[in-house]
Structure 1
Amino acid sequence: MTGQLFAHGAERVELPGKLAALRTAEAAAIVLLVPGYTGSKEDFAPVLGGIAEAGFQAVAVDLPGQYESPGPEDEAEYRPAPLGKVVAGLVEFLARQGKPVILLGHSYGGLVARAAVLAGAPIAGLTLMDSGPAALPDGPRRVALGVGEPLLRNQGVAPAYAVREEMSARFPSWVSLPTELKDFFRRRFTSSSPFGLLGMAEGLRDEPDLVPELAAALADRPRLVVAGAGDDAWSVETQQDMAARLTAPFALVPNAAHSPNTENPLGLLEVLLPAWQSWR
């Protein structure tokens, strides 16, 4: 099976805050992987083995309110800043082992990872993947957020996902997905907190540009910006500009759009691992 159901060999664990996670065996350094909106730890399943083989312990987490992690009934707690404090605390917990912790944030998880650095997370390096300098720009993904909000508020999570699934059925890429993967997407979405889905969506719509603050907070710590060559969320040009403003290397993953971790995991590992090895 491909994508989120890829066989990974990691163990399912619970971290402080009742955060569900997938964790590979102990190693000399740790990589904490933070998923995006409507995502989960399973988004990183295709790369966990490769990260472990390279000598890192991979820890992929469900943020509060995502899939198997409980969360508060307050939409404001799902903005990047509050979630960033949660991730900063998790980094501090992992760092108590005396090992460097590298942080990767994907999409909305990138905004959360940025907030974690601004909250003082003691990271050894930061990777932003298919994320942006500010709110999600105009486009189909932002339109979808607007369509989904009243459904979530007025009908609930399950009916909202039914409409989402009906819209997805118009695309051949969705039709061709294995039934098991479609079932997983449905189970994950309907298990997630409606407060979390609404709060994160609002964060995606109004997060300010905090690149200068991030650059200052990182100081001389290493950083990397990575994007799928066909990203349809934040444009490649926008992410290139963000990398330049962070004085960070920028890398493109070929044959990938917004989620290289599932679309071209080997290509993504070819970008990430050499950088992380040099940081360690």
Structure 2
Amino acid sequence: MTTQPASTPPPNARAYPLQTSRGTFAVVDHPAAPGVEPRGVALLLPGFTGSKEDFTLMHEPLAQRGYRTVAVDGRGQHESDGPEDDESAYTRSELAQDVLAQAAALGMDDTPLHLLGHSLGGQIARAAVLLDHAPFRSLTLMASGPAQISDSQQQRVKLLRDALAVMTMAETWEAILAMGPPEEVGGPARGIGGPELLRRRWLGTKPAQLIATGRQLCTEPDRVDELAALPLPFHVLSGASDDTWPVPVLDDMAARLKARRTVIPGAEHSPNADQPLRTSQAVADFWRSVDGAEGSPPAIV
């Protein structure tokens, strides 16, 4: 793992290696804002080809509402280490156990710990709470659906996996750029931080992680009924349009979970980047309702 973050954390945040029983994970840890009553802690999991930096624009707004937020690079993702070629290290069960270890390392026994996963991160979060929901006060699935991704997205993932089978990460990146915008040709989704961060994040991610998790996205079974049986409050949040899991699919999943459902206007598959203030407001309102907070919440500005 690199010793310096690839991007500057938000003001008041700290980037550091989180030591757990399953290894070290790179995190950005942002405390609740000074003078604001602490409400809880949230563990934030990024999506496929993503990283902890995808939540950069949400840390400060959530801090204003009293929440400490810890965004994490998963195993083999960006600044967290992992095997280059051993796909067995990235099974859904292994990644779920990593999340439980991260939760334990935060030591939040007496403080509400909310779990939020974006896209692939949502499916990993789901697997974690199905293994053990006890550490968590709630689960938010952000632009993360009930089963495999859409046919069009499966084609993009296949394109990426085929390229990684014969090229290095650096060669694949150059090939992606030559074909067009990365998010349109099977490369990393549009993210926060500009082209240089996207490149550095890509080169830091292990090819086995991308190949294994890409396969999972294309084959994930529907586990909504299992999830619905857990005694957890759920929140399904998405943009107004999404070509990875169509919005009606997310609507149906929310109904099956009896979850709070939020649709963010002006956002697509990454509400955290497209509309971070609206997204933060919705997430904080959900957490506040789960924790039984009284009175009018402070506005996010």
User: Does TM-score exceed 0.5, indicating one fold?
Assistant: yes
- State the 1:76 CA deviation: 3.0
Q: What residue in structure 2 maps to residue 21 of structure 1? A: 27
Q: Structure 1 pair 258/192, CA: closer, same or farther in 2 (3 Å)? A: same
What RMSD, in angstroms, separates the aligned Cα atoms of the two structures? Answer: 2.2
Equivalent residues of 2:42, 2:115 under 8 A apart? yes
The residue identity in structure 2 corresponding to 1:143 is Q
Q: What residue in structure 1 maps to residue 234 of structure 2? A: 223
Instruction: Give the length in aligned residue pairs.
Output: 270
Structure 1 residue 132 corresponds to structure 2 residue 136? no
SS in 2 for 1:166: helix
- C-alpha offsets along residues 111-152 of structure 1, whole Å, 9 cap, x if unaligned? 00000101104200000000010111211x221111111211
Equivalent residues of 1:5, 1:181 under 8 A apart? no
Q: Structure 1 pair 171/76, CA: closer, same or farther in 2 (3 Å)? A: closer
Q: Which moved more, 1:112-121 or 1:79-88?
A: 79-88
Q: Structure 1 pair 133/5, CA: closer, same or farther in 2 (3 Å)? A: farther
User: TM-score, structure 2 length as denominator?
Assistant: 0.84
Structure 1 residue 193 corresponds to structure 2 residue 196? no
Q: What residue in structure 2 maps to residue 91 of structure 1? A: 103
5+ unaligned residues in a row in structure 2: which ranges? 1-6, 33-37, 185-189, 292-301
Identity %: 37
Equivalent residues of 2:237, 2:264 under 8 A apart? yes
C-alpha separation in 2, matches of 1:171 and 1:56: 31
Equivalent residues of 2:264, 2:271 under 8 A apart? yes
Structure 1 residue 260 corresponds to structure 2 residue 263? no
- State the 1:85 CA deviation: 1.2
User: TM-score, structure 1 length as denominator?
Assistant: 0.90
Equivalent residues of 1:8, 1:45 under 8 A apart? no
SS in 2 for 1:232: coil
Q: What residue in structure 2 maps to residue 40 of structure 1? A: 51
C-alpha separation in 1, matches of 2:80 and 2:26: 5
C-alpha separation in 1, matches of 2:220 and 2:86: 18
Q: What residue in structure 1 maps to residue 64 of structure 2? A: 53
SS in 2 for 1:148: helix
The residue identity in structure 1 corresponding to 2:219 is D
Matches within 5 A, 1:161-240: 161-169=173-181, 181-216=194-229, 218-219=230-231, 221-240=232-251
- State the 1:107 CA deviation: 0.2
C-alpha separation in 1, matches of 2:201 and 2:182: 21
C-alpha separation in 2, matches of 1:119 and 1:95: 18
SS in 2 for 1:230: coil
Structure 1 residue 9 corresponds to structure 2 residue 9? no
- State the 1:168 CA deviation: 3.0
C-alpha separation in 2, matches of 1:239 and 1:157: 33
